[in-house]
Amino acid sequence: MTAARSADAPFAFLKGHGTENDFVIVPDPDGVLDVSAADVARLCDRRAGIGADGLLRVVRSAAHPEAAALASEAEWFMDYRNSDGSIAEMCGNGVRVFARYLQRAGLVGAGDLDIATRAGVRHAHIGKDGVDGTEGEITVTMGPAELPGGEVSVGVDGQTWPAVHVSMGNPHAVAFVDDLDDAGELLRAPAVSPAGAYPNGTNVEFVVDRGPAHVAMRVHERGSGETRSCGTGACAVMVAAARRDGLNPARTGQPVTYTVDVPGGRLVVTERADGEIEMTGPAVILAEGTIDPSWLAAPSH
């Protein structure tokens, strides 16, 4: 275990994205950094900071009190924070970017990898790079979906739609609409009722059909606002669409795969017969540098 860093010592960061759901990545293998909610919000600020939908802190599971019990299953813990500094259980695009960082840092190679999250251990597979040098896509097992049931609705600008309550380790309200523009600007969180359905808030997805087993979505993420992509949201959308279409792998014994278009790209989501959800998509690391601690400690303006 290394000593805690000096308060005035610079520390490293990287920037990455998965289908344009972007993250500040902070390597902290020994868990010595004290990254406050205010720090996260400042780093993720798109005008006065680096800019991101969230922050991924890379910590060895054994070095983090929330993940120590999972250390025998997964060496690395994804400490994920929303852009406002709030803690989130899971982030599907974030897991892929997290895995890409570990590969870039030489800590893992192509193949299988287990990652601890607040929603449990997630299994990733890093594909081999193409012969043209393109990075292999990453598949992440996202756990089973839960459909708690109950009537839920979401509203934007005076319009209201029924929604499907789906949990992917974090909460989602999935609404099928005629046009994605119906969701408006999504600058503010859509209204969700009944108020007690999501006591800790929820992510809201608006979905349209593009073809057989092919949908497109927009999402307002809890704690971040509208984002270009949401991995757990794409999984929730796939399950909601499959059930709407009368498809349930647990009953048929056959996996179901949907293509889910997001503003930042495309994800492929499969629900297996055992209920496990798999999501495949790209992950890119695009920059790295160091944080000036004097800037982080200075009063914001």
The answer to the question of whether 93 is labelled as a binding residue is: yes
Choosing from 24, 52, 59, 91, which is the catalytic residue? 91
- The answer to whether 231 is annotated as binding is yes
User: Is 200 annotated as belonging to a binding site?
Assistant: no
Total H helices, total E strands in the chain: 5, 18
Taking the alpha carbons at both ends of the chain, their separation in whole angstroms is 36
Which residue blocks in 27-146 are alpha helix, DSSP H?
37-44, 92-104
Residue 203 marked in a binding site: yes
Q: Is 211 annotated as a binding residue?
A: no
Q: Is 230 a catalytic residue?
A: yes
248 is in an annotated binding site: no
Structure token digits, residue 67 = 């993940």
Sign, Cα dihedral of 6, 9, 12, 13:
positive
Q: Greatest CA separation found in the chain?
A: 59
What torsion do the CA atoms of 90, 279, 207, 244 make, to the nearest 10 degrees?
A: -110
Q: How far is the C-alpha of 81 from the C-alpha of 44, rounded, in Å? A: 10
> According to the annotation, is 221 in a ligand binding site?
yes
Give yes or no: 91 in active site: yes
Is residue 92 marked as binding? Answer: yes
Please tell me what DSSP assigns to residue 124. Answer: E
Contacts of 136 (CB under 8 A, 6+ apart): 110, 126, 127, 128, 129, 130
Please pick, among 183, 230, 241, 285, the residue that the annotation labels catalytic: 230
Residue ranges of the annotated binding site are 21, 82, 92-93, 170, 203, 221-222, 231-232
Catalytic residues: 91, 230
Binding-site positions for substrate read 21, 82, 92-93, 170, 203, 221-222, 231-232
